[in-house]
Structure 1
Amino acid sequence: MMIVNEQIKASEVLLTGIDGEDLGIVSRSEALALAKRHNVDLVCLSLMSSPPPCRLVSRSAAKQDMNAKKQSEKRNELSQKTKEIRLTPHIEEHDYDTKLRQIEKLLEAGKAVELNVRAQGKESKEAKALLERLLADLKGKGNKETGIQVSGKGAIVKLLPAR
């Protein structure tokens, strides 16, 4: 949400001019008058500081900035999707090769992969060994974000694509 003109309630604002020049701390009414004089809007950049930083910009430029920021956040969020691959400690060789190819494709596509080996009781050592083997086979394709986490239910490791 964008806070503009009369929506700004602070008595003083830290003002930045149209061309990015620093105009210092001015009263809200003075800033609004300046905005009217130059036929632009007074846009609040953040409510987290006192006085709030504000800028004189055309409304269309401010909306474009906001939309660009939202799109880049969305793009970053999408690229951080994690795909979970589940395995068992007693995996057969051809199934292992299939999973390995699947993981390689996901990493090459830029997706993060969480490898989850389900194990019960004493199988946790085998689960950890399987993950270590997978990590060795995936060397250069992905980097560990976390170490191998072993629990009573199995072992998990998260891989990020190598960039």
Structure 2
Amino acid sequence: MNEEIRVKEVRLVDEQNNQLGIMPVRDALRIAEERNLDLVEVAPQGKPPVCRLMDYGKHKYEQSKREKETRKKQRIINVKEVKMRPNIDEHDYQVKFRNAVRFLKDGDKVKATIMFRGREIVHNPKGQAILERMANELSELSVIERRPKLEGRNMIMILAPKTDKQD
């Protein structure tokens, strides 16, 4: 910006995006001073580098406003976990199911985990059945992002909330 530009010649663009041509930096700085604007290097990799006449403070302010707006519109998606065991009781399953429903309605992903301990690992079809049941019962609210898969002593399935685009 302004005196910090260390090249001999620049391609100058004014505040209305009109090309003023290639000129020495000191001439570009003189034009910027006459118009009470700043000379800002916008494309340093160009041959010669491209500089624009602008009010740098105003530009910075507009940029921060745009960034704030985009941050406002972003939704951070968390992954909430629901842990179960292969021989889970019906009531306990219903509690976990209601939690999963709440998480999906809040817009979060759900990681459903079946934890196998000791010799329970031989009953992995039982764990698979529990996860498949949960996926079927949640099919109106979610889509399966990752099918049930055994990882070590845990079987994991990830459900993502349905969006309007996926209907």
After TM superposition, is the score higher than 0.5? yes
The answer to whether the 8 A contact 2:109-2:158 is kept is yes
The answer to whether the 8 A contact 2:12-2:20 is kept is yes
Cα distance in 2 for partners of 1:16, 1:71 equals 28
Superposition pairs for residues 1-163 of structure 1, below 5 Å?
Answer: 4-5=1-2, 17-19=14-16, 21=17, 23=19, 29=25, 35-42=32-39, 50-51=45-46, 56-58=53-55, 59-69=57-67, 72-73=70-71, 76=74, 79-120=76-117, 121-163=121-163
Unaligned runs of 5+ in 2: none
Cα distance in 2 for partners of 1:25, 1:91 equals 75
Please state whether the residue corresponding to 1:65 is helix, strand or coil: helix
Amino acid at match of 1:147: R
Segment of structure 1 superposing worse, 78-87 or 107-116? 78-87
Residue 39 to residue 152, structure 1, CA distance change in 2 (3 Å): same
TM-score, length-scaled by structure 2: 0.68
- Root-mean-square deviation (CA, aligned residues, Å) is 3.4
- Percent identical residues: 27
Cα distance in 2 for partners of 1:134, 1:150 equals 16
The answer to whether the 8 A contact 2:104-2:141 is kept is yes
The Cα shift of 1:44 comes to: 5.8
Residue 104 to residue 65, structure 1, CA distance change in 2 (3 Å): same
Cα distance in 2 for partners of 1:16, 1:144 equals 51
Please state whether the residue corresponding to 1:146 is helix, strand or coil: strand
Residue 64 to residue 81, structure 1, CA distance change in 2 (3 Å): farther
Amino acid at match of 2:67: K
The Cα shift of 1:125 comes to: 2.3
The Cα shift of 1:25 comes to: 8.4
TM-score, length-scaled by structure 1: 0.69
The answer to whether the 8 A contact 2:12-2:23 is kept is no
Please state whether the residue corresponding to 2:147 is helix, strand or coil: coil
Unaligned runs of 5+ in 1: none
Amino acid at match of 1:111: D
